[in-house]
Amino acid sequence: MGKAAKLRKIRRLVLRWPVYLFLVAYTLFALFPVVLMWINALKDPLEYKIEFNPLAFPKKITLENLEKAWLVGHMGTYMRNSIIVAVPRVIGILILSSLAGYAFGKLRFPGMNTIFYLMLFGMMIPIQAMLIPLYYNLQRIGMINNFWAMIVPNFGIMMPFAVFFMRSFFRDLPAELMDSARIDGSNDFKAFVYIMLPLTTPALTTMMVLQFLWSWNDFLMPLMLIYEDKLRTLPLGIMFYLVGGYYLDQGLVSAAVTISSLPIICLYIVFQRSFVSGITAGAIKG
């Protein structure tokens, strides 16, 4: 019996190593391009001139490229702009969508269904469908080439999905909570702040992470609305690296990619669950 069990164990190990091999191979494939950039960002620019080999490990680790990208390449400014845009944008969307989601999920009011379907319509159409008039409307009200342009329109554009998402969470909370809050004499707003909101923390975290990711990676709207370098966010900045004269400076491009990809990867490692559930839920928009 002992021998048979041992044999079975060995057999299982032998059968499993191809599985692990496959998984490790795919891990390499998934991470290789990113890690390659990180490695090249740490390389001495002189190494390129001697031997043109992006695959080689750096002989001497240097922060020169990162420093140059941060200061000369304006990555520092782009990063700051990305944060300046993301924070109010995420907070605004969270407040607006949780208020509306609560009303749709737990309260009743005249015209509720009409308004809800009106918003659901917004979830089905792509950003391209509003791009052109949005450009001219925003130009007219002066919301172009400034931070507002990257923040305020998204309160509308992101709202259908955000409201839909929050609504389903509020709807699933037990109705007795609302009833007991009312019996205890709180109005709808108090019930929202003190009873419902604390219970939707998981949904709010997911929403926060997802909106932050979308804001961080947003490209099309800023591309259309921003034309001054000092206002560019990270994706725009990197794009102009490629279009601009830096293209051949390998170290600088890899440093730029490193600077913009590291924060979001770290954030993902911390908030894995929220990222996964958010991205799978938000797949239709995004």
Partner 1 sequence: MMNSTSWGALRRPISKCKDLKFTNRKWQKRPRGSYGPLLFVLPSLAFYVFFVFIPVIGTVRYSLFSWDGASPNMLFVGLQNYVEMIEDAIFWKALVNNIIWTIGTLVFAFLMGLVLAVVLMQSGIKIIAPFRVAFFIPVVLSLVVIGTIWSWMYNPEFGTINLLLNKCGLAFLARPWLGNDRTVLFALVFAGSWHYSGFCMMVFIAGLQSIDPVYYEVGVIDGATKVRMFFFVTIPLLKNTMTLLIVNVLIWSLKIFDLVFIMTGGGPYHSSEVIANYMFYVTFRIGEIGYGAALATTLALLIGTLSFVYIRMAEKAD
Is the CB of 62 or the CB of 168 nearer to partner 1?
168
Q: Smallest gap, in angstroms, from Cβ of residue 57 to partner 1?
A: 14
Q: Smallest gap, in angstroms, from Cβ of residue 21 to partner 1?
A: 11
DSSP code for 55: T
Is the CB of 53 or the CB of 61 nearer to partner 1?
53
From the list 103, 36, 102, 10, the residue with the least C-alpha distance to 254 is 36
Would you say 86 and 167 are in contact if contact means Cβ atoms under 8 Å apart? Answer: no
What is the rounded CA–CA span in Å between residue 135 and residue 15?
Answer: 59
Dump the DSSP string for 147-199.
HHHHHHHHHHHSHHHHHHHHHHHHHHS-HHHHHHHHHTT--HHHIIIIIIHHH
Is the CB of 84 or the CB of 173 nearer to partner 1?
173
Is the CB of 84 or the CB of 127 nearer to partner 1?
127
Q: Smallest gap, in angstroms, from Cβ of residue 226 to partner 1?
A: 13
What is the rounded CA–CA span in Å between residue 54 and residue 228?
Answer: 33
Q: Smallest gap, in angstroms, from Cβ of residue 44 to partner 1?
A: 16
Structure tokens at 99: 């208020």
Is the CB of 72 or the CB of 270 nearer to partner 1?
270
DSSP code for 42: T
What is the rounded CA–CA span in Å between residue 197 and residue 199?
Answer: 5
Structure tokens at 244: 């601009």
Q: Smallest gap, in angstroms, from Cβ of residue 231 to partner 1?
A: 16
Is the CB of 84 or the CB of 130 nearer to partner 1?
130
Q: Smallest gap, in angstroms, from Cβ of residue 275 to partner 1?
A: 6
Q: Smallest gap, in angstroms, from Cβ of residue 64 to partner 1?
A: 19
From the list 137, 167, 168, 132, the residue with the least C-alpha distance to 152 is 137
What is the rounded CA–CA span in Å between residue 112 and residue 104?
Answer: 7
Is the CB of 62 or the CB of 186 nearer to partner 1?
186
Q: Smallest gap, in angstroms, from Cβ of residue 245 to partner 1?
A: 15
What is the rounded CA–CA span in Å between residue 183 and residue 76?
Answer: 54
Is the CB of 77 or the CB of 254 nearer to partner 1?
254
Q: How far is CA 12 from CA 19, 22, 64, in A?
A: 11, 16, 49
Would you say 58 and 39 are in contact if contact means Cβ atoms under 8 Å apart? Answer: yes
